[in-house]
Structure 1
Amino acid sequence: MERVEIYSMSINLGKEICRRRREQKLTQEDLAELSDLSVNFISRLERTKNQNISIQKLDSIARALNTTTPDIIMNAYRFKEVKVENHQDNTPVFIKKVLNELRKMAPDKAERVCKSFIVLAKEINKD
């Protein structure tokens, strides 16, 4: 059975903010005070995947960390999380075999075979 994988990516701003905060030897309390945000907000941002943050709050944090919002966002891509989802392929085996044979053909020949097959399938479905 053929395996199909779908990749989705998300960035984690909290990990980047935490990294920068620790690099500057600041506590969450220090960052909260410097950014005029609550310690609970900083803590939740750093420890959870909930990245629901306004641009204003992100700007406040960036200023408190002596950097810019775009810089935090760009560096957060280093901590991107890649999620792989497997989807069952329910395509019948005989269709997979036909597709495999078509892939082996030259494109113009495969196109002629497909057109012939479509004509044949339509003719069979008329009955």
Structure 2
Amino acid sequence: MRQEEEPDIKKRFGLAVKRRRQELGISQEELAELADLHRTYISDIERGSRNISLENIEKVAKALSISVSKLFANYGIEVQE
């Protein structure tokens, strides 16, 4: 029997960013401005279509007022065994 596959890391990270952004009540445009990134780049991250760099992961986390480790741990990025 085949197990259901987990979404890839880009999609899981994108969902975490979106959930945190919505929790803060800010738009993609506001997040982009806070992170010094383009709005379409934020949209691509949330859709899981960007392979985001470590530098940009840090920018996004700071803009979301959360540490990188808490973003990963608190928003379900890690795969459940």
Q: CA RMSD in A?
A: 2.2
Q: Is contact 1:35-1:64 (8 Å) kept?
A: yes
Number of aligned positions between the proteins = 76
CA deviations over 1:27-47 (Å, ceiling 9, x no partner): 101000000011010011112
Q: 1:77 Cα deviation (Å)? A: 2.6
**Closer, same or farther: CA 79–51 of 1 in aligned 2, 3 Å:** farther
Question: Counterpart amino acid of 1:20?
Answer: R
CA deviations over 1:47-89 (Å, ceiling 9, x no partner): 2x32511111010011111101111122343686xxxxxxxxx
- 1:19 equivalent to 2:5? Answer no
Taking only the aligned residue pairs, the percentage that are identical comes to 33
Larger-gyration structure (1/2): 1
Q: Is contact 1:16-1:79 (8 Å) kept?
A: no
Question: Counterpart amino acid of 2:56?
Answer: K
Question: Counterpart amino acid of 1:41?
Answer: Y
Instruction: Give, in whole Å, the separation in 2 of the partners of 1:6 and 1:15.
Output: 21
The unaligned stretches of length 5 or more in structure 2 are none
Instruction: Give, in whole Å, the separation in 1 of the partners of 2:54 and 2:46.
Output: 16
Instruction: Give, in whole Å, the separation in 2 of the partners of 1:40 and 1:14.
Output: 13
- 1:68 equivalent to 2:62? Answer no
Q: Is contact 2:19-2:75 (8 Å) kept?
A: no
Q: Please report the TM-score for the alignment, with normalisation by the length of structure 1.
A: 0.52
Q: Please report the TM-score for the alignment, with normalisation by the length of structure 2.
A: 0.78
Question: Counterpart amino acid of 1:77?
Answer: G
The unaligned stretches of length 5 or more in structure 1 are 81-127
Q: Which has the higher strand share?
A: 1
Aligned to 1:117: none
